[in-house]
């Protein structure tokens, strides 16, 4: 696809709003919506409170999407928040953002998701027990089959992403329709129980952290900004519309959970398989297998989205000279960042084989909240520092929306550091572990320039 002389992207623009929306929806809708409501039923004990947490989470994600839309339209290039942090705060913070994306943000999340896919897929097979070797093989097979599609070019990757997203959303809607038509639920379950636990702000905040993790991924369109057609219109349309769609889907699913079972039963152990519990109550024992199929589709779509968008961060870093330029190399007619995709999938494979991704994932949510808050803060900084920067889209109700997102993020970070100082400290340490690499590479580049 031809580009205008004013187009700053070095990649061909071939991604329309529908494909970009599929990437966003698949990235957000993973396993969280199918597993977290049981914990909230135990801790909050009130359907209205639980629905309000999902609604508040949607408003926070929407505030982030509105802010990122301004940045994505102003900087329609690959890299997402790495690009925004580098522009607003300098290359060092941009590098740490990219380092975090590589070590825990994408690669560890890909590894964890692939292993989760293997665990759920094995439940569909008539096997006795779960072998670690078989799970690892299935996880690697999923990862590299998806990687193959994205290495083949944007056309193959786009087709895969659209297919997985449509199958995922279609299966979720079919699940709800079948339950409403054939299940024996009761909307009276939405009435508060007399034995509900006393309201606790701490429990509410913890539930909100769970919900925000389930909403994470609303910013994925920003990473593909360099390949999106008509980015000034498509990026805001994708981020805002996609986030609203996911919010509606989440509220519908939670409403369906409460229609199926009273909150007291949702709060009865086991808490994790809440969707499976609902399916069995509504449609019988075999319905749990259908939920497992939904989970497999959901995870596969999320892995595909992360393989696609994560590689664009390392591609952008290589273009800026913050990592070796070999990772900026592209191949094929659609200029696929071949080496950046390989780098990410190889590291994710190492994490899968070694099993070392689990602790990284625990700390990743905390670190990612920090960087997303810094990226939204870049809206405030760049409005003041670069008032004449062309902004095809401007965040509405400025500065209140970006300030709201930043303040909520500060509260969450402060709460995590207070309630879970070990996890918070290790999360910060993981981020700062990239500092020696940055200093070494910076020194190497200076020596190289002097030698030239």
Please say if the pLDDT value at position 102 is more than 60: yes
Is 12 a member of any domain? Answer: no
Q: Is residue 127 part of a domain?
A: yes
Is residue 290 scored above 50 in pLDDT? yes
pLDDT of 428 higher than 60? yes
CA–CA distance, 146 with 306 (Å, rounded to integer): 10
Among residues 238, 240, 225, the alpha carbon closest in space to that of 313 is found at 225
Whether the Cβ atoms of residue 259 and residue 187 lie closer than 8 Å to each other: yes
Q: What tokens appear for 188 in the block? A: 């009276």
Q: Determine contact, residues 264/243, Cβ cutoff 8 Å.
A: no
- The total number of structural domains in the chain stands at 1
Average pLDDT over residues 50-79: 95
Predicted confidence (pLDDT) per residue in 171-207, tens digit = 999 999 999 998 888 888 888 666 666 777 778 887 8
* Domain membership flag for residue 2: no
> 78: domain CATH number?
1.20.1740.10
Helix axes of 132-151 and 154-182: crossing angle, nearest 10 degrees? 120
Residue-wise pLDDT for 343-393, tens only, equals: 999 999 998 998 766 666 666 777 888 999 999 999 999 999 999 999 999
- Min mean pLDDT across 254-258, 411-415, 417-421 is at 417-421
The reply to whether 95 falls in a domain is yes
Mean pLDDT of 144-169: 92
Q: What angle do CA 200, 202, 206 make, to 5 degrees?
A: 120
Q: Are 10 and 334 in contact (CB under 8 A)?
A: no
d(CA 295, CA 168): 8
Alpha carbon distance 118, 345 (integer Å): 17
Helix (H, G, I), strand (E, B) or coil at 183: coil
pLDDT exceeds cutoff 90 at 246: yes
Report yes or no on 420 lying in a domain: yes
Determine the Cα–Cα distance for residues 249 and 55; give it in Å rounded to an integer: 11
Cα 420 from Cα 342, distance rounded (Å): 35
Range of the domain at 165: 17-447
Residues with Cβ within 8 Å of 154's Cβ and at least 6 positions away in sequence, in order, are 12, 14, 15, 227, 334, 336
| Residue 234 in domain | yes
Q: Between these two residues, 358 and 101, which has the higher pLDDT value?
A: 101
Confidence tier at 169 by pLDDT (50, 70, 90) = very high
What pLDDT is stored for residue 358 in this prediction? 61
Residue 339 belongs to some domain of the structure: yes
Please give the full DSSP string across 123-181, using - where no structure is assigned: HTS--SS--HHHHHHHHHHHHHHHHHHHHT-HHHHHHHHHHHHHHHHHHHHHHHHHHHH
Q: Does some domain include residue 1?
A: no
């Amino acid at each position: 696809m031809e580009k205008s002389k004013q187009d700053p992207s070095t990649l061909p623009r071939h991604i329309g709003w529908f494909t970009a929306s599929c990437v966003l929806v698949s990235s957000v809708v993973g396993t969280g919506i199918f597993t977290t409501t049981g914990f909230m039923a135990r801790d909050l004990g009130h359907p209205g409170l639980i629905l309000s947490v999902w609604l508040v989470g949607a408003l926070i994600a929407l505030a982030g999407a509105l802010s990122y839309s301004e940045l994505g339209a102003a900087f329609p290039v690959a890299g997402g928040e790495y690009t925004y942090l580098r522009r607003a705060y300098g290359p060092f913070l941009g590098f740490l953002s990219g380092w975090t994306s590589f070590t825990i943000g994408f690669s560890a999340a890909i590894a964890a998701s692939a292993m989760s896919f293997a665990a759920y897929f094995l439940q569909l097979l008539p096997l006795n027990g779960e072998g670690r070797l078989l799970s690892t093989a299935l996880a690697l097979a999923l990862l590299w089959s998806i990687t193959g599609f994205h290495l083949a070019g944007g056309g193959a990757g786009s087709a895969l992403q659209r297919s997985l997203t449509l199958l995922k959303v279609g299966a979720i809607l079919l699940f709800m329709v079948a339950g409403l038509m054939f299940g024996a639920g009761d909307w009276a379950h939405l009435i508060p129980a007399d034995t509900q636990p006393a309201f606790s702000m701490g429990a509410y905040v913890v539930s909100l952290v769970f919900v925000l993790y389930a909403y994470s991924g609303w910013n994925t369109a920003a990473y593909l900004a360099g390949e999106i057609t008509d980015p000034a219109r498509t990026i805001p349309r994708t981020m805002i519309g996609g986030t609203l769609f996911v919010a509606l889907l989440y509220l519908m699913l939670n409403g369906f959970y409460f229609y199926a079972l009273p909150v007291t039963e949702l709060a009865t152990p086991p808490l994790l398989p809440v969707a499976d519990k609902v399916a069995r109550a509504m449609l019988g024992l075999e319905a749990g297998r259908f939920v497992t199929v939904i989970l497999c589709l959901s995870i596969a779509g999320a892995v595909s989205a992360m393989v696609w968008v994560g590689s664009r961060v390392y591609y952008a870093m290589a273009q800026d000279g913050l990592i070796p330029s070999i990772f900026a190399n592209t191949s094929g007619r659609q200029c696929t960042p071949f080496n950046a995709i390989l780098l990410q999938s190889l590291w994710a494979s190492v994490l899968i084989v070694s099993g070392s991704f689990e602790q990284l994932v625990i700390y990743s949510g905390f670190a990612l909240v920090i960087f997303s808050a810094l990226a939204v803060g870049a809206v405030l900084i760049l409005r003041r520092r670069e008032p004449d920067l062309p902004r095809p889209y401007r965040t509405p109700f400025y500065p209140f929306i970006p300030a709201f997102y930043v303040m909520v993020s500060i509260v969450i970070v402060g709460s995590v550091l207070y309630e879970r100082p070990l996890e918070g400290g290790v999360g910060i340490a993981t981020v700062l572990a990239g500092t020696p690499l940055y200093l070494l590479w910076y020194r190497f580049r200076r020596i190289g320039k002097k030698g030239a």
